[in-house]
Amino acid sequence: MFKMVIVVRTDIKMGKGKIAAQVAHAAVTLVLNVLNSNNLRWKEWLSEWLQEGQPKIVVKTDSLDDIISRSNRAKEMNLPFSIIEDAGKTQLEPGTVTCLGIGPAPENLVDSITGDLKLL
């Protein structure tokens, strides 16, 4: 099984629509990063994930430090990840980190980084 997990910051003020947009940015960015990479393993994972119905899980954290720490773990494990920064056109200052996306990747690998977080 393969999945994508999006970790959303709850320590910043975002409306429901803003959160939805940021989660969508993370999912699209992850797929584009895989498609634009030369990593054949990531491309295989993407293909499997697409065939499995594109499972996506959205969880929450209450700190930027946690986002950074988890992204570093994803990088160390050679998993696709993206840190999303807001453009600052509506509710947030430009460059505000809103969420982290990890995957698509094997469920057990993603869970080793995000499995302790609660659903948004």
Q: Which domains does the chain have, with CATH numbers?
A: 2-114 (3.40.1490.10)
Could you read off the pLDDT of 50-91 as tens digits, one per residue? 999 999 999 999 999 999 999 999 999 999 999 999 988 888
Could you read off the pLDDT of 23-56 as tens digits, one per residue? 999 999 999 999 999 999 999 999 999 999 999 9
Could you read off the pLDDT of 92-107 as tens digits, one per residue? 888 999 999 999 999 9
Q: Which of 21, 22, 46, 24 is nearest to 33 (CA)?
A: 46
What distance in Å separates the CA atoms of residue 101 and residue 83, rounded to the nearest whole number? 6
What distance in Å separates the CA atoms of residue 85 and residue 98, rounded to the nearest whole number? 6
Q: How far is CA 26 from CA 64, 68, in A?
A: 16, 15
Is 14 in contact with 96 (CB distance < 8 Å)?
no
Q: What is the pTM of this model?
A: 0.96
Is 90 in contact with 18 (CB distance < 8 Å)?
yes
